[in-house]
Amino acid sequence: MRLASRREPSGVAVTETHVAPHRPPSQRAGAVGGGVRTRRQARRPLGLPWILPALTLSVGLLYYAIGYTAYISTLNWDGIGPNPQHVGGGNYTRIFHDPVFWDAVRHTVYFFVVTFLIQTLLGLTFAVLLHSRVKLAVVYKVIVFVPVVLAPAIMAPVFRHMFAPDGEFNGLLHALGLGTLAQPWIGQTSTALPVIMAITIWEWTGVTFVLYYAAMTQVDQSVLEAARIDGAGNLRTLFNVIWPEMRGTTVALAILSAIGALKTFDVPYLVTIGGPNYATEFLGTYIYRMTIPLDHVGYGAALSIILLVVALVMAILFQVAGRERKARD
Amino acid sequence: MFEARTWRTRMVLQVALTLLVLPYLFPLIVMVKGSLAGQGFSNYTAVLAVPGLARFFVNTIIIAASVIVLVYGVTMMAAFGFAKLHIPFREFYFWLLLACLTLPEVVLLAPLFATAIRLGTYNTYWSVILPLAALQVPFAVLLTRNFINGLPDELFEAARVDGASSFRGFIYLVIPLTRPIAAAVFIFTLIAAWNDYLMPLVFLQSTAMQTITLVPSFFVGEFSNDQTKILASAVITAIPEIVAYLCLQGLFERGLSAGAIK
């Protein structure tokens, strides 16, 4: 996913190198390319009215909400009372000493690493296998992709049922002769988070698979044939030819997974309510818990601001990393 | 990708794939089997007999359709403006929009709740439609702008030389030419709006206004935790989504890949 696309005519770039060889590329393009662009755009009609509805809706509503959240985060407020107490940065200092907050952060990181790795592995495997002339490919594709379109909220009761002590998952273990492994999966701290991860992987492998599948159709067939003629086996071709070609897709999926991990709410809230004993608490569920059931609206708002800053810093880091890599290529 | 020359390798691949796909099927089997436990099909008749079940579907359709129309309209206009028209400080506005890409909806709860109460929009469709649309627009604009950037400038300049206004250019060039990416925007927005849980949970209080994602919790109250009925209601709410996907299979898959490949 390229976050911004600026088209720079190559002719312009060449002239610029003579003008200002020491400035970084982005500035150069802005300076000289700008001149060219202005001349061309002088004839272009003004576009501001065209972007105004989108800006009013998104920027207007969302920035208003963020600004309001920032204000609320300085209050000790239950959300209803007419005279909230101003506490300045008090909520923030409390958050840094809040063990549940740090638990939520740890869960988010752990969740991101595990779900991303397993989804990548599974998505890649499905994409490779379904590109290999198997029978009934469409049936497999549908089965892997259906979870993507099903609402987590609708599947949540199914998973609660399935992972209950007398549920189908333990039933399956017994049937497979693994009855000793049966346990109350969502009722104990040690297994609740892995269950949440498994459900998320179940839900999102379809996306990973579809993206890798689409990327693989773009791999040059002649390169594959050349590798084969050189005597490379299936696995060598996969690791040395196909996998490097998938890098763009993998990076895009890493970004999507990281953002997804920060946004996680539905599954842990509906399947385990963040528990037991905060074992599946994420930033999203903790903000909800603080804001709605516990009425610590100020504290929830401060948590929201921290979540926002983390998300924004991450987005910028990904951007910078993406740019550097592009420059190196 | 894999070359399977012999009959045996082909069998191995097929069996491996079948084994790998079973865990994906398992929860769906549990859902259907659980919904038929106990009283069998009468679980379904009991669920369907509950008055107001159709209302959840109607509400979801109203909300999803409004979000899609709103997102489509403002996105097409904005993407056209960003890609082909003159805007001073264009990239600044674009970045303002892009910064919202990573915004988790849960951070909107407190301020929007307080505002909705004050404006009297609490428990109306608008309190869900507007934030959902606002959250979808940044990604939709990003996708569509990239797509329109790829259309030749000459096309729009020729239209201008021929005396067409920006508005006519928009109607006769942008709208028809952006159909492939509009399909992607449609799918993304549909999935996001249809499956959203948090906004309806917080902003829609009366059951007459609520959406299908709240059906399971509604039935927990209705059937005092009778699992079989709750699973039957899950099947009933999942069926339209599965049918929509099966009918528009290609559109769903192409839409999603268009979103991330760029």
- Other Cβ atoms less than 10 A from the Cβ of B66: the count is 18
B208 and chain A: CB distance < 8 Å anywhere? no
* Mean pLDDT value across residues B152-163: 88
Q: Which of the given ranges, A92-106, A179-193, B3-17, has the highest pLDDT on average?
A: A92-106
For B65-78, the pLDDT digits (tens) are: 999 999 999 999 99
- Residue pointed to by tokens 């028209």: B85
* Residue A76 touches partner B, C-beta closer than 8 Å: no
User: Of the ranges A143-147, A206-210, B39-43, B62-66, which one carries the lowest mean pLDDT score?
Assistant: B39-43
Q: What is the pLDDT of residue B2?
A: 66
Domain range enclosing B171: 52-213+236-261
Q: Is residue B219 a part of any domain in this protein?
A: no
What does the pLDDT read at residue B102?
82
pTM strictly above 0.90: no
d(CA A200, CA A187): 18
pLDDT over 90 at A12, yes or no: no
Q: Looking at the predicted structure, is the pLDDT value of residue A81 above 70?
A: yes
B46 within domain boundaries: no
- Nearest Cα to A156, choosing from A212, A111, A203? A203
Best of B107, B112, B127 to mutate (most A CBs within 10 Å, chain A): B107
| Window A:138-177, CB contacts with B under 8 Å | 140-159, 161-162, 167-168, 172
What are the residue boundaries of the structural domains of chain A, listed by start? 102-294
Closest partner residue to B20 (CB to CB) among A125, A146, A158 is A125
Within an 8 Å CB–CB cutoff, is residue A61 touching chain B?
yes
The pLDDT value recorded for residue A35 is 43
Taking only the tens place, the pLDDT of each residue in A217-275 is 888 888 888 888 887 778 888 888 888 888 888 888 888 899 889 989 999 999 988 87
Write out chain B residues lying below 8 Å of A162, CB-based. Answer: 26-27, 30
Asked if the C-beta of B3 comes within 8 angstroms of chain A's C-beta atoms, the answer is yes
Q: Which of A128, A300, A314 sits opposite B110 (nearest CB)?
A: A300
What mean pLDDT is predicted for residues A161-184? 88
The mean predicted confidence, pLDDT, of chain B is 87
Residue range A102-294, CATH number: 1.10.3720.10
Q: Could B104 and A263 be called an inter-chain contact, meaning their C-beta atoms sit closer than 8 Å?
A: yes
| pLDDT (tens digit per residue) in B193-219 | 999 999 999 899 888 889 988 888 888
Chain B residue at shortest CA distance from A53 = B74
| Of residues A79, A142, A312, nearest to B102 (C-beta) | A312
pLDDT recorded at residue A247 = 85
Whether B250 and chain A come into contact, CB under 8 Å, resolves to: no
Q: Say if residue A4's pLDDT is above 60.
A: no
Q: Tell me the pLDDT band of A304, cut-offs 50, 70 and 90.
A: very high
Total beta-carbon pairs less than 8 A apart between chain A and chain B: 330
Query: Do residues A79 and B114 lie in contact, with contact meaning Cβ atoms separated by under 8 Å?
Result: yes
- ipTM for the predicted complex: 0.88
Whether residue B257 is contained in a domain is answered as yes
CB distance from B260 to chain A under 8 Å? yes
From chain B, pick out residues whose CB is under 8 angstroms from the CB of A55: 78, 93, 96-97
A319 Cβ under 8 Å from any chain B Cβ = no
Interface check A239 vs B, CB under 8 A: no
Domain assignment of residue B5, yes or no? no
Domain membership flag for residue B246: yes
The arithmetic mean of pLDDT across residues B42-63, rounded, is 88
User: Quick check: is B17 in a domain?
Assistant: no
Q: What DSSP letter does each residue of chain B carry, written as one string?
A: -----SHHHHHHHHHHHHHHHHHHHHHHHHHHHHHTTTTTTHHHHHHHHSTTHHHHHHHHHHHHHHHHHHHHHHHHHHHHHHHHSB-TTHHHHHHHHHGGGG--GGGGHHHHHHHHHHHT-TTSTHHHHHHHHHHHHHHHHHHHHHHHHTS-HHHHHHHHHTT--HHHHIIIIIHHHTHHHHHHHHHHHHHHHHH--HHHHHH--STTT--GGGHHHHHHHHTTT-HHHHHHHHHHHHHHHHHHHHHTHHHHHHHHHHHHH-
* Interface contact B21-A312, CB threshold 8 A: no
Q: Which two tokens stand for residue A145?
A: 């992709």
Q: Is B103 exposed, middle or buried (0-12, 13-18, 19+ CB in 10 A)?
A: buried
**CB neighbours of A46 closer than 8 A, spacing ≥ 6?**
B85, B86, B87
The domain spanning residue B205 has which CATH number?
1.10.3720.10
Of A62, A142, A249, the CB nearest to B103: A62
Put simply, whether A5 touches B (Cβ < 8 Å) is yes
> In chain A, which residues have their Cβ closer than 8 Å to the Cβ of B198?
265-266, 288
The whole-number pLDDT of residue A235 equals 81
Does residue B140 belong to any structural domain of this protein? yes
Residues of A in contact with B1 (CB under 8 A): 127-128, 131-132, 216, 219, 224, 237-238, 242
Decide if B16 touches A, using CB distance below 8 A.
yes
- pLDDT tens-digit readout, A152-161: 998 998 999 8
The pLDDT score that the predictor gives to residue A26 is 43
Is some CB atom of chain B closer than 8 A to the CB atom of A291?
Answer: yes
Examine the pLDDT at B234 and tell me if it is beyond 70.
yes
Task: Report the pLDDT value the prediction gives residue A328, as an integer from 0 to 100.
Answer: 66
Q: A48 CA to chain B: closest CA distance, Å?
A: 6
In this prediction, residue B78 carries a pLDDT of 95
pLDDT level of residue A322 (50, 70, 90 thresholds): low
The mean pLDDT of A100-111, rounded to a whole number, is 94
pLDDT at B150 over 90: no
Instruction: Specify the higher pLDDT residue, B44 or A326.
Output: B44
Phi, psi of A57 (to 5 degrees): -65, -55
Sign of CA dihedral A303, A304, A310, A313: negative
Count of domains in chain B?
1
Residue of B106, B216, B237 with shortest CB distance to A287: B106
Average pLDDT, integer, range B215-234:
82
Scan for tokens 């012999």, then name that residue. Answer: B6
Please indicate whether, in this complex, the C-beta atoms of A234 and B96 are within 8 angstroms of each other. no
